[in-house]
Amino acid sequence: MSAPLLCVHDLTVAVQDGAGPRVLLDRISLDLGAGDVLGLVGESGSGKSLLCRALIRLLPSPKLRITGGAVFLEGRDLVTADEREMLKVRGGEIGMIFQNPTSHLDPVMRVGDQIAEGIRYHQGLSQRAARAAAVEILAQVGFADPNRQYNGYPHEFSGGMRQRAMIGVALSSNPKILIADEPTTALDVTIQAQILRLLLDIRDRRGLTVILISHDLGVVAQTCDRIAVMRNGELVEQGDKRSLLAAPQHPYTKALIESHPSMPGEGVATAAIAQPAPALRPLLEIDDLHVRFPSGAGLFAAGPKTISAVKGVSLRIMPGETVGIVGESGSGKSTLARAILGLAPLSSGHISFDGADLGQNRAKALQKLRSEAAMVFQDPFNALNPRLTIGEMVAEVLRVHGKAVADIPARIGELLDLVGLEREFADRKPRSMSGGQCQRAGIARALAVEPRMIIADECVAALDVTIQAQIIDLFRALTARMSLTLLFIAHDLAIVRNLCERVVVMYRGEIVEEGRCADVFARPQHAYTASLIRAIPDIDPDKPLRADLLSPSVAETGSGRVSDQPSAAFNW
Amino acid sequence: MHRYRFVLYRPLQFLPVLLGISIITFVLVRLIPGDPARVLLGSRATPAAIANIRAQYGLDEPLWVQYFYFIGNLGQGEMGKSILYKIDVLRLIATRLEPTLALVLSSVAQSILIAVPLAALAARHRTRLPDHAVRIVSTLGIGFPPFWLALMLIILFSVRLGIFPVSGYGGSLTDKLYHLALPSLTVALSLSAVLTRSLRAAMVQALESDVATAARARGMPESIVFWRHVLPNSLVPTVNLLAVNIGWLIGGTVVVESVFALPGLGQLLVRAIFSRDYMVVQGVAMVFACATVLVNFLADIITVALDPRVKL
């Protein structure tokens, strides 16, 4: 390592509120040499994003203060630099890429203009020259037709392309250091692999220094030279990637490595236990199901256009089975789940739940579904009513399903025990609970109807890895204890491999492969499944990440417009 | 450009809306107790004279027949004859249109000129003195009824200071603007209070949004962050609020025109209602309805222009 480019020394950030100062970042020290790629890992709330915001003195709230320490960038102390100096540092020396490109790109400004803005401001180019430079950058970050795509608005691009645009915006001011804050967390595995590849590519081409923030050790292991582990505002461990992964010193680092889903879990063992007795008939039978949505049909639009979200899916699920449905966003897996619960229209085909056909006898089937099947949602906060306590929320379900009022409190207690929440949570509201606790409450609500089947739609995608592992364990315990049938929808293959006996792979509305988990992951038959599996960032740095050129999302690099769903357009 | 295609077919949707409005106003006007012929001829009129007038204006026909006359006339661009003024309703409206139109336009322009800087000031100094001041003033502005504001302005500017006239409307352009100053300020003060609050809220949100954070993180000074990212992202809700309020304002001119004795549509409407001049009430109501529909149509076009995500 050459002389450090960035040198953080005892950096301390505290929040100043009623109760006096509380330390959020506790004496962080680290060095970053030119050309380094540093991975910063830790769960949410560990302070990794805050550290990066503190480097450019852009703290998320005026109540936060840097109370001590120094940040030396090529010898200048950024903590004491004046605001004018900082304007040059932000963007010009240190660029940032954010987790959610959808909310960080200006929705009402052309993508190209957002890149040109930084060029004009930092490099003082004319409008024409800035435009040419922006087109150049768009090409660099992988836009196939940069001249035309310059004029596109963020919502016209897919998630992957938006993140490419965000990277382009960060590059526009020609920084020396690039901070990428969870740049791929919101993306599918295959797209994630492409974006990580792009980041490394740009690093090489421009000689950038990169700080990559991630909660996923796999991502960091694949991309970084050095790893720093943060927890509760402290830097608990840092060092060379290989030595840190091979011989972690701190117990928290060990726990992180153990809970990484690319490690072989004990999921295989449950398969033997839960193997159902030769079942008489399937609990859920789906036969040649099609779901089509009308799209963009205006009063005078030429002919009704439709989007096929699910195309001819047939599936049988036996009582007590645990089935994972995987696929990238837009593959139709969520639509399938909604159709099963009667929440999406059946265009053709059959769904029958325990003998009741949803197409032929809708009322009866729905009644059966409502009382015997339940759903757990992706976003634990938004799926809970913020005004109700957990107890009130579960009681509501119990009342609707005709539970005697006197028995309700006892039942709430049982349910909370079942999902591993203290009974006092009955009086808490979602606001005062963590993401993992909210998701447990959501599961308790789903279990209130004593369902035979639970559909979990990406229910751990929004949670930290360690919490993810806990929720997965909970599902495993529940399915074993209550002989539940579980339909587990996820884009994360590693989790499905750990939890499910059977896996169904969906691609563009169709099932391309299904079979026992162990078989499918060991010997994928379909090229798409194989590319999905290869794109999982492995925690072993010697198993290189592969962003296949035979990517499932041809549209990602092509026209720039995803073929699947009309993105965040408001239809008024 | 297909996002603007609605401009072509949206007007077709206006037809049923306007038809509905025509039925409602037609029926409502006739539900008011009283008889135009009796009002016109006074309390000592003979039954024969009243019947004569009723026949002359077709008021003796069944209600549905009268409605079809009304609609038939509308189709030919006619609105019948005023019972009170004895002239064509359309011509009557045309002579009264200008003061109302001028009042609405100038008060909308003034309210935008007041609201945008105030909201920007408040949002950029959030929870500090300028913000508190703007919020208190705008709350007061919403709280004070326009007729009271009008009287206070008259007392201050006309009676005490003698700068502006108490009432009436002028002949030349400058004279007209001079007479419009107080009435339009009255309306603008009320309207800008509503707009400022909405715009301030949207700006506060946009200033804390990820878009603004990202712009700051690439070294944009606060002025660029504000004018280029925050403002465009906070205009849309306010444009729609403004459209709704202009609709309300068009009806609300009645009060202001009465206080300032402006010879506009509002005043005409009030007098027509008192004299049960059915044709004029219907006509003015239809004009107001058309104007409201048109303003909302314009707001839709502006919304589409401001926000590329919106599809109509």
For residue B226, tell me if it sits in a domain.
yes
For residue B178, tell me if it sits in a domain.
yes
SS3 B31: helix
Q: Which residues of B touch A103 (CB under 8 A)?
A: 209-211
Q: Do B229 and A106 touch (CB under 8 A)?
A: yes
Residue with structure tokens 């003796």? B60
CATH of the domain at B264: 1.10.3720.10
pLDDT tens, N- to C-terminus, chain A (572 residues):
456 889 999 999 988 877 677 888 989 999 998 888 999 998 777 888 889 999 999 888 888 889 889 999 988 899 998 988 999 899 889 999 988 888 899 999 999 999 999 899 888 889 999 999 999 999 989 898 999 999 999 988 888 889 999 999 999 988 999 999 888 877 778 888 888 989 998 898 888 999 999 888 888 888 899 999 998 889 999 999 888 888 889 998 888 888 776 655 444 444 444 444 555 678 888 998 898 887 654 444 455 567 788 888 999 898 888 999 988 877 888 888 888 888 888 888 888 888 888 878 888 888 888 888 888 887 777 888 888 899 999 999 888 888 888 888 888 998 898 888 888 888 888 888 888 888 888 888 888 888 889 999 888 877 777 788 888 888 888 888 888 899 999 887 888 888 888 999 998 888 999 889 888 888 888 888 888 888 878 777 777 666 554 344 433 433 333 333 333 333 33
> What is the pLDDT at residue B198?
92
Q: What is the mean pLDDT of residues B25-34?
A: 82
Closest CA to B181 of B125, B110, B234: B110
**CATH, domain range A4-259:** 3.40.50.300
Please tell me the distance from the alpha carbon of residue B17 to that of residue B110, in angstroms, as a whole number: 30
Query: Which of A108, A119, A561 to probe by mutation at the B interface, max B CB count within 10 Å?
Result: A108
Residue B20 has pLDDT above 60, yes or no: yes
Residue with structure tokens 């009086």? A427
Interface of B with A in 98-137 (CB under 8 A): none
How close is the nearest chain A Cα to the Cα of B230, in Å? 9
For residue B49, tell me if it sits in a domain.
no
Q: Do A90 and B219 touch (CB under 8 A)?
A: yes
SS3 A467: helix
Model confidence band, residue B143 (pLDDT cutoffs 50, 70, 90): confident
Please tell me the distance from the alpha carbon of residue B261 to that of residue A54, in angstroms, as a whole number: 62
Residue B297 has pLDDT above 60, yes or no: yes
- Please spell the DSSP secondary structure of A96-142, one letter per residue: EE-S-HHHHS-TTS-HHHHHHHHHHHHH---HHHHHHHHHHHHHHTT
A371 interfaces chain B, CB cutoff of 8 Å: no
User: Are residues A236 and A212 in contact, defined by beta-carbon separation less than 8 angstroms?
Assistant: no
Q: Do A117 and B220 touch (CB under 8 A)?
A: yes
Q: What's the number of domains chain B is made of?
A: 1
- Residue B32 tokens read as 């008011």
> What is the pLDDT at residue B279?
85
Closest CA to A458 of A486, A434, A500, A488: A488
Extents of the domains making up chain A: 4-259, 267-292+307-535
Residue B70 has pLDDT above 50, yes or no: yes
For residue B259, tell me if it sits in a domain.
yes
For A381, which DSSP code? T
B220 interfaces chain A, CB cutoff of 8 Å: yes
- Please spell the DSSP secondary structure of A393-459, one letter per residue: HHHHHHHHTT--GGGHHHHHHHHHHHTT--GGGGG--GGGS-HHHHHHHHHHHHHTT--SEEEEEST
Q: Do B233 and A170 touch (CB under 8 A)?
A: no
Query: Which of B210, B218, B300 to probe by mutation at the A interface, max A CB count within 10 Å?
Result: B218
Query: Phi and psi of A356, rounded to 5°?
Result: -95, 120
A98 interfaces chain B, CB cutoff of 8 Å: yes
Closest CA to B256 of B92, B99, B82: B99
At the top level of CATH, which class does the domain A267-292+307-535 belong to?
A: alpha beta
How close is the nearest chain A Cα to the Cα of B210, in Å? 5
| Pairing status of strand A226-231 against strand A234-240 | antiparallel
Cα-based distances in Å from B2 to A151, A155, B236, B310: 16, 16, 20, 12
B16 interfaces chain A, CB cutoff of 8 Å: no
Query: Phi and psi of B2, rounded to 5°?
Result: -65, -15
CB-defined contacts A:B, below 8 A: 99
Q: Do B218 and A90 touch (CB under 8 A)?
A: yes
> What is the pLDDT at residue A263?
52
Cα angle B152, B155, B158; round to 5:
125
A169 interfaces chain B, CB cutoff of 8 Å: yes
Q: Which residues of A touch B209 (CB under 8 A)?
A: 103
From B231, which residue of chain A is nearest by alpha-carbon distance? A108
> What is the pLDDT at residue B84?
80
From B233, which residue of chain A is nearest by alpha-carbon distance? A108
Q: Do A155 and B309 touch (CB under 8 A)?
A: yes
State ipTM: 0.79
| Pairing status of strand A37-41 against strand A356-357 | unpaired
Same fold, A4-259 and A267-292+307-535: yes
Distance linking the first and last C-alpha atoms of chain A: 56
| Domain with B302 in it | 95-306
Please tell me the distance from the alpha carbon of residue A432 to that of residue A17, in angstroms, as a whole number: 18
Model confidence band, residue B236 (pLDDT cutoffs 50, 70, 90): confident
Query: Phi and psi of A40, rounded to 5°?
Result: -115, 110
Q: Do B214 and A118 touch (CB under 8 A)?
A: no
Q: Which of A91, A298, A571 sits opposite B217 (nearest CB)?
A: A91
Reported residue count of chain B is 312
Q: Do A100 and B232 touch (CB under 8 A)?
A: no
> What is the pLDDT at residue A547?
54
Which helix (H) or strand (E) segment holds residue A10: the answer is strand A4-17
User: Are residues A334 and A457 in contact, defined by beta-carbon separation less than 8 angstroms?
Assistant: yes
- Residue A71 tokens read as 């940040």
For residue B84, tell me if it sits in a domain.
no
Closest CA to A348 of A315, A316, A317, A312: A312
Q: Do B217 and A58 touch (CB under 8 A)?
A: yes
For residue B253, tell me if it sits in a domain.
yes
> What is the pLDDT at residue B256?
86
The pTM assigned to this predicted structure is: 0.76
Q: Which residues of B touch A60 (CB under 8 A)?
A: 213
